[in-house]
Structure 1
């Protein structure tokens, strides 16, 4: 697995980079959960999108690199209205596609236990297409994803294939999906917050219990000689485990 020191270095490097995404900043609706994860010592985010409704014009269907030949006619990370979709569609010159893409988040995890915890939170929040991948050097990446997307072609070679009633219908469906998407993000945020707090409390408890065990383990060794002096117990009488136990407790009697 990835060395913990290497994880910390990778996190520092990743979070200090310039955001080269199209928008150039973290989407408002997922800022709280992204901040929560990045402030944890066990995680950091590598890419994210809160979810979006877009109309894309595929200018060249024969291109091997399709994204480089697409024109974004309309995009929003909130609910949309049909007028904006129609306005964007009028600019199409190729095959225009209407899409709803749900929330997606990629998180690098310190270890497999941290990944397992976050995966459980994601699945319970409704992101059932989430999964973990482990690289050759031990890098652990969790992808938080769901399956309630939508993709519908609206035009071909610049010719619009649907009427405004159908666009109205699509917009209603996409907006419903966006509402559900935001609900899932909220559940995921609350789940992450609860899991991190629980994990932190568990670590504190383990440290506390460990300290108690150290004190208990050290007590007999630390008090044996002084106990013998206080009680004047001859060493030849400390031959069995019961006498040793009583001598160890003499200081506390």
Structure 2
């Protein structure tokens, strides 16, 4: 797996929506997600985990809730207690009303850990500005949300009985990657390739993003990974395909990226 670092494809205008999405994701994780700072320092305890479970159950998208449009009778309350199996999280009747449709929106700004957050933000930072530049601010925001909704419902249809919370911007960000592949397939992307050490290479976007998509498709079938049940690879695949389809009408009028000769990480080499 290659790690993208920078693309040689400057935007013509400031990507305000991309910046706002980045800021919102970071603020929600750091300031609102229970135990986020404790997970960084290793200070999380059972109480933090129970509060996090209750928080995610309330604001995350749950596949069976999306498909059947109803909440379960019992949900985590955020408290801790001691049961027959020892200490654990307390469950009880929900003390709130939850809209499954709105939960898809709130779930896009929730993340399960620092690596989950930073991975999504890295891809959005690198590829979001050019897609926003081509679409315009308002259309890009609508595009981002549509891809996120399509990815969530696509995953829910593939696993309608699941009660596991579905969180993260991955589906919407995958849509951004699909759009970038359609609009700027020849743009050069600096990546780090782990081979004994991290080797910097400059590759065409169609190789970087095409490889990413193939891996997600393979992983979505459960092949080659042991955590296929905890990562919504199907959502990544759906978001990517929807992003490609929505961006396709814009391809004819898209100016090509600049030639990368003599350019190193966005600056002209001397």
Please tell me the TM-score bracket, short chain as reference. Answer: under 0.3
State the structure with more CA Rg: 1
Higher relative contact order (CA 8 A, sep 6+): 2
TM-score of the pair, normalised by structure 2: 0.26
Task: Specify which structure has the higher proportion of strand.
Answer: 1
Q: TM-score, normalised by structure 1?
A: 0.27
